[in-house]
Amino acid sequence: MSLTLIIGNKNYSSWSMRPWVLLKQFGIPFEEVMLKFESSEWNERIAHLAPTRKVPTLWDGEPGASNSIAVWETIAIIEYIADRFPHFDIWPKDVAARAFARAIAAEMHAGFQALRNSMPMNIRSKHAGKGMQAGVAEDIARVEAIWDGARERFGSRTDSPFLFGQFCAADAMYAPVVMRFHTYAPPLSAATLRYCEAMRAAPGIATWMAEACLETEFVGFDEPYASAPSQHI
């Protein structure tokens, strides 16, 4: 069966970004269906294409068909991809590294609410210095500690710049945080900036960013620091 990923706007949809860049980075073929937020197409199609009426949703087989497999929630989608393509190192091979990677991916999935709420993903805009509300500095410090710990324990074994050496699911889970750091430019360590630079240069992430910057839709909920459509960067 073939894969289809249902996503939202690339400029705003951080959860859509995660499985999309993972599939791209590993060269796994899939079809993309974008339902833009606050659009008539979203209203008309989301119930048929996403059981929870949220994105992303991955379909293995014809989207919406009763004999196809639907997977929602980003962690579940990533695990399905890992099961479906066991010849790819979606998670690190080393047992300790894999456990660490899964733990920090789950932490990303469940936590960092202050960072999420105060610095919504907005790739095409620049809001340097904005978003440093209560709790955000603590969330950023925790992200940096996670990244430093992963690279020091596991990533340093190779010359690759990613958390566990080669790009894996954990990097994909933190890709939208890299986007937030680029947009809001909070104070960051030199090591964090190097990792962010490497992530933005990764082919899957670079492609997503380029396509996000071509979008012109303005979703007010995700634009707390602009009263009109943001200029592209």
Q: Give me the pLDDT at residue 229, please.
A: 52
Helix, strand, coil share of the chain (percent; to 5): 50, 10, 40
Q: Give me the pLDDT at residue 137, please.
A: 98
Strand partners, 31: 4
Mean pLDDT for each 10-residue chunk of the chain (233 residues)?
Answer: 95 98 98 96 95 97 96 97 98 97 97 97 96 97 98 87 96 98 98 97 98 95 76 43
User: Residue 224: what are its φ and ψ, rounded to 5°?
Assistant: -70, -15
Which class for 169: exposed (0-12), middle (13-18), buried (19 or more C-beta within 10 A)?
A: buried
Q: Give me the pLDDT at residue 226, please.
A: 87
Q: Flag whether the pTM goes above 0.85.
A: yes
For the record, the structure tokens of 223 come out as 């634009």
Q: Give me the pLDDT at residue 232, please.
A: 43
Q: What DSSP state is assigned to residue 86?
A: T
Q: Can you identify the CATH homologous superfamily of domain 3-84? A: Glutaredoxin (3.40.30.10)
| DSSP element (H, E) containing 5 | strand 3-7
Third-level CATH fold of 95-212: Glutathione S-transferase Yfyf (Class Pi); Chain A, domain 2 (1.20.1050)
| Furthest CA-CA distance within the chain | 50
Q: Give me the pLDDT at residue 156, please.
A: 83
* Same fold across 3-84 and 95-212: no
Strand partners, 162: 165
User: Residue 27: what are its φ and ψ, rounded to 5°?
Assistant: 65, 30
Q: Give me the pLDDT at residue 233, please.
A: 41
Indicate the angle between helix axes 190-201 and 169-184, nearest 10 degrees: 110
Contacting residues for 201 by C-beta, under 8 A, at least 6 apart: none
Q: Give me the pLDDT at residue 231, please.
A: 45
Domain locations along the chain:
3-84, 95-212
